Amino acid sequence: MEWSACTDEYEKLVFRMSTPRVVIDNAVCSTATVVKFDSARKHGILLEAVQILSDLNLYIKKAYVSSDGRWFMDVFHVTDQDGNKLTDESVLKYIEQSLGSIHNGKTNHRNGLTALELTGTDRVGLLSEVFAVLAELQCDVVEAKVWTHNGRIASLIYVRDCNFGTPIEHSQKINKLEARLRYVLQGDSDIRSAKTSISDAVVHPERRLHQMMFADRDYQNNPIFKFTSEIPLVTVQNWVERGYSIVNIQCKDRIKLMFDVVCNLTDMEYVVFHATINTRNDQAYLEFYIRHKDGTPISSEPERQRVIQCLQAAVERRSCEGIRLELCTEDRQGLLAEVMRTFRENGLNVTRSDITTTGDLAANVFYVTDAIGYPADQKLIESVRQKIGLSCLKVKELPFVCNEKAESEDQSVGVGGAVLLSLGSLVRRNLYNLGLIKSCS
């Protein structure tokens, strides 16, 4: 009995040590809600914490991440999309409960749906053909996410059988579906092999899109498809004395920026030991101290260049180029095929899309440009709206937050990382001031 009691106490101790601790404070900062998250250090747990905040479409205005031995200590300064502190008790409780029950390897099943993964060469009208095939084969699109980058496209589409409202399980229909979609994706000028597959859908969908585009090597520069001048500035240097590689990123601030970067570092098998994120005006400055999973820093110039390219791609994939159109209407079979056909017939290219269906209501977001990637003419947009329905398809400005109060309190942060940072680096100073590390040296 005594041994059993000791075992029980030991198991309770292990459980308490491995259970994350969460503190949410609305008093310590005048411009943001502060979320403190402490947990045992496991590969991927930082990504899961950031994922929870990102799924709520919160801005991470500041963040400090540090690991001390086997423990992670993270502090996030977050606001809603309007730059305000979080006051909704249900949201605060959800954050606390979700972070408190976090564990690596959490799955994201879509029960009752079949998940399709598509990658290939992007072109005007491609999505019109894809959704036309799905409509012809009696597949009802319930959810979908589409990203394009560097002339490549990746899409995760959740469908069910129109006739029975069930997942598509018949092998003959699945084979036909994959073959037709692969044919559409290949087109006449596919520079790489198109891929279609049925997914188990156990990975967070946006993380899976990053993985698909990474596997498709979208990070390899293709200037033919680049029309933006806002290329993220990424530098990578080694801090030899401490055995870290230091990654610095400067780019335009936006929602889910930290998620996109941490997601790619995690999937590239790097571990984040320390990090700091600061925002000023509409710019974000991110600094990460990383190592390989085996504890070594980046070891070669080709690897350093690959990390730079991959992180630039990670930031650019979600960049909202084009005009944001929101479609909210009663869902019906073939709706997406009709909308995409109208876009194609009017020379509009969809650069990104988020498609959701709740009950009988379809709520879809499209980012569109003209056929070669430049902003679409406003008269053309209005013409498309008239054809689809002015009350259904609305033009929305891109969300943007510039918190003047936060700006006055932020410290000025340079590009950083152009040369190896000194021991007085911003991340070490901030972590020391917060009491998250014992010494700045």
pLDDT at 176 over 80: yes
Can you spell out the DSSP letters for 104-146?
Answer: TT-----TT-EEEEEEEE--TTHHHHHHHHHHHTTEEEEEEEE
Q: What is the pLDDT of residue 241?
A: 93
Which tokens in the block code for residue 92? 């605060």
Q: What is the pLDDT of residue 341?
A: 96
Residue with tokens 């905040």: 53
Q: What is the pLDDT of residue 168?
A: 83
pLDDT at 216 over 50: yes
Question: pLDDT-derived band of residue 406, with 50, 70 and 90 as boundaries?
Answer: very low
CB 156, CB 113: distance < 8 Å: no
One-letter amino acid at 52 equals: I
Residue with tokens 């991440």: 65
Higher-scoring residue by pLDDT: 62, 429 = 62
Half-sphere exposure of 57 (CA within 13 A, CB side): 7
Nearest to 58 by CA among 337, 277, 360: 277
CB contact set of 192 (below 8 Å; sequence gap of 6+): 120, 121, 216
Which tokens in the block code for residue 218? 């979208």
pLDDT in tens, 8-36: 654 554 555 567 899 999 999 999 999 99
% of the chain beyond a pLDDT of 90: 63
pLDDT at 60 over 60: yes
Q: How far is it, in rounded angstroms, from Cα 245 to Cα 298?
A: 6
pLDDT in tens, 340-395: 999 999 999 999 999 999 989 999 999 999 988 888 899 999 999 999 999 999 99
Q: How are strands ordered across the β-sheet holding 33-40? A: 21-25, 33-40, 71-79, 59-68, 270-280, 283-292, 244-252, 233-239
Question: pLDDT-derived band of residue 425, with 50, 70 and 90 as boundaries?
Answer: very low
pLDDT at 127 over 80: yes
CB 351, CB 398: distance < 8 Å: no
pLDDT at 129 over 50: yes
Nearest to 45 by CA among 24, 69, 19, 10: 19
For the chain, the 3-state helix, strand and coil shares in percent, each to the nearest 5, are 35, 30, 35
pLDDT in tens, 87-104: 999 999 999 999 988 864
Higher-scoring residue by pLDDT: 418, 438 = 438
CB contact set of 341 (below 8 Å; sequence gap of 6+): 128, 132
Q: What is the pLDDT of residue 194?
A: 84
Averaged confidence pLDDT in the chain: 84
Q: What is the pLDDT of residue 438?
A: 43
Which tokens in the block code for residue 219? 């990070």
Half-sphere exposure of 346 (CA within 13 A, CB side): 23
Map out the domains of the chain with their CATH numbers.
23-106+227-318+404-433 (no CATH), 114-201+321-396 (3.30.70.260)
Q: How far is it, in rounded angstroms, from Cα 168 to Cα 61?
A: 42
Question: pLDDT-derived band of residue 422, with 50, 70 and 90 as boundaries?
Answer: very low
